[in-house]
Chains A and B, each alone.
Chain A
Amino acid sequence: GDSVTQMEGPVTLSEEAFLTINCTYTATGYPSLFWYVQYPGEGLQLLLKATKADDKGSNKGFEATYRKETTSFHLEKGSVQVSDSAVYFCALSSSSGNTPLVFGKGTRLSVIA
C-alpha cells in the first residue's frame, strides 16, 4: 500500500538556520503531496501542497518540490524562527480527491533563540 517516510526527529536548530526535513513516498499512480504542521496543543494546518510532478508548493517561507524521479517531497526553509517550532507531517493522497491522507510519522522541530 501507499506509504510515507520522513526523517525522524527531533530536529533542533538555532534561529536563522536552514531547515530541511526529508520526505519520500511510495504510491501507485500520481498522488498529491502535502506538508501539514501541528503547533503545540493545536490541530493540523495545511502548510503547502503539490499535485503533480515538478510542482513547487510554498507558504510562510517554506518550500517543497514534487520530485517524481526520486519520489520525494522535502521541506525546506531558508531561515527558521522560534515560532516555527512544531511537528511537521508529510502526507499523500492517492487520487484526485476525497481520499484519506497517508501520513509520515512526523518530525518535531525545535528552534532555539
Chain B
Amino acid sequence: DTAVSQTPKYLVTQMGNDKSIKCEQNLGHDTMYWYKQDSKKFLKIMFSYNNKELIINETVPNRFSPKSPDKAHLNLHINSLELGDSAVYFCASSHLDQPQHFGDGTRLSIL
C-alpha cells in the first residue's frame, strides 16, 4: 500500500497554463506539506496544513493555492505557470513527533 501518493508523476505543460497536483496519504496523519525541489536538488518548504488548516505559507507566490478538502488530501493548484516553476514537487505527511513520509514527487516541466 502506498503511504503518500501523488499524481501525476510527470507533468509537462506550457507557460501560462493552470495545473493541479494531487496528494493523498493513508497513514492517518494530521499534518501535510508541500516542498519544492529545484534543479540543484535543493528542497524548500512551501506550505504546511494541520487538520485541513493552513499553518505555514513560506512566501510562495499567490499563483500557488493549496487546498485540503480533508486531512488525508492536500492538493496544489498553480495558476499562470512560469518557467521558474519547473521543479519536482514533493508532498509529505506526519503525525505528532514522528518523521515525515514523502511521496515520490511530481516532476513539473514548463515549456
Contacts and interface: CB of A to CB of B under 8 A. Distances in A.
B43 A49 contact: no
A44 B98 contact: no
A98 B50 contact: yes
B66 interface: no
Contact of B102 (A45, A49, A87): A45
Of residues B33, B92, B100, which shows the largest number of chain A Cβ atoms within 10 Å of its Cβ? B100
Contact of A42 (B30, B48, B96, B104): B104
A46 B94 contact: no
A108 B48 CA distance: 27
16 contacts: A34-B99, A44-B90, A44-B102, A46-B99, A87-B41, A89-B43, A97-B97, A97-B98, A98-B96, A98-B97, A100-B33, A100-B56, A100-B58, A101-B35, A105-B40, A106-B43
A61 interface: no
A108 B90 CA distance: 19
B109 to A, nearest CB: 15
Nearest to B104: A43
A49 B50 contact: no
Given A43-B102, A96-B97, A103 B50 contact: no
Contacts of A102: 45
A98 B94 contact: yes
Interface in A1-59: 32, 34, 36, 38, 42-46, 49, 51
A95 B44 CA distance: 17
A32 B102 CA distance: 17
Nearest to A49: B99
Interface in B41-68: 41-45, 48, 50, 56, 58
Contacts of A105: 40-42
A99 to B, nearest CB: 8
Interface in B84-99: 90, 92, 94-99
Nearest to B40: A105
Nearest to B88: A43
Nearest 4 pairs of A and B residues by beta carbon: A97-B97, A100-B45, A43-B104, A44-B102
